[in-house]
Amino acid sequence: MTMYVWCHMGHLGVDSSPRHKAHLFHWISQYKNTVGNESGIKVKEDIACKVALNVCSCIADKEGFRLPFSNLIFPRVWAHNLDNAFLESHPDPEEVKVHRAQEYSSFQKRSYTAANGLIVAEANSPLQYPTQGVEVRPLKTIILPGSDHTIVYISVPICTNTMFSAELALKINSASNYMVYLRAALGTFDVAAIVHGVSLKGEGENHMTLSSPNLSALNKQLSFVTYTNTVFHPRTAENVEFGTEGHRSFFTIKIQHKTTPKLYNSGHQKEYNISALVTLATKTFLRYDKLKDLIDSVRQFYPTVTIVIADDNQHPQPVTGPYIEQYFMPFGKGWFAGRNLAVSQVTTKYVLWVDDDFYFTSNTKLEKMVDILEKTTLDLVGGAVREVTGYTVTFRHTISVEDGGEEGDCLHIRTGHHHVIQGFPNCVVADAVINFFMGRTDKMREVGFNPRLARQAHLEFFIDGLGTLHVGSCNDVIVNHASKIKLPWGKTDSDKAYDKFRYSSNTDNTKLHNEVFYFTNRFKCMTSH
Whether the CB-CB separation of 280 and 356 falls below 8 Å is answered with no
pLDDT at 220: 93
Cα distances from 479 to residues 160, 350, 437, in angstroms, run: 61, 18, 10
Strands 134-136 and 247-256: parallel
Whether the CB-CB separation of 147 and 222 falls below 8 Å is answered with no
What lies within 8 Å, CB to CB, of 281 at 6+ separation is 307, 308, 310, 339, 342, 343, 346, 351, 352, 353, 354
pLDDT at 66: 67
Helices H / strands E in the chain, number of each: 14, 28
Nearest-angstrom CA–CA distance, 441 and 150: 40
Concatenating the DSSP letter of every residue in 21-80 gives HHHHHHHHHHHHHHH---TT----HHHHTTSPPS-----PPPP----TTHHHHSPPPEEE
pLDDT at 156: 35
Q: What is the pTM of this model?
A: 0.83
Rg over alpha carbons for the chain, rounded to the nearest Å, is 30
Nearest-angstrom CA–CA distance, 55 and 185: 34
Cα distances from 165 to residues 186, 338, 446, in angstroms, run: 22, 50, 35
Concatenating the DSSP letter of every residue in 87-155 gives HTTSS-HHHHHHHHHHHHHHHHHHH--GGGS---PPTT-SEE--SS-EEE-TT-EEEPP-SS--EEEE-
pLDDT at 3: 37
Domains of the chain: 1-53 (no CATH), 119-256 (2.60.40), 274-528 (3.90.550.10)
The neighbouring-strand residues paired with 241 are 183, 250
pLDDT at 153: 31
pLDDT at 487: 55
Closest CA to 479 of 373, 417, 396, 388: 388
The neighbouring-strand residues paired with 128 are 169
**Would you give per-residue pLDDT tens digits along the chain (529 residues)?**
333 333 443 333 333 344 445 555 554 555 455 544 555 666 656 656 556 455 788 888 887 666 666 666 677 888 999 999 999 989 999 999 999 999 899 888 888 888 878 777 776 789 999 888 899 999 999 999 733 333 333 333 333 333 334 579 999 988 999 999 999 999 999 999 999 999 999 999 999 999 999 999 999 999 999 999 999 999 999 999 999 999 999 999 999 998 888 888 888 778 899 999 999 999 999 899 999 999 999 999 999 999 999 999 999 999 999 999 999 999 989 999 999 999 999 999 999 999 999 999 999 999 999 999 999 999 999 999 999 989 999 999 999 999 999 999 999 999 999 999 999 999 999 999 999 999 999 999 999 999 999 888 999 999 999 999 999 999 999 999 997 656 565 667 676 666 666 666 677 788 999 999 999 999 999 999 8
Whether the CB-CB separation of 225 and 233 falls below 8 Å is answered with no
What lies within 8 Å, CB to CB, of 299 at 6+ separation is 321
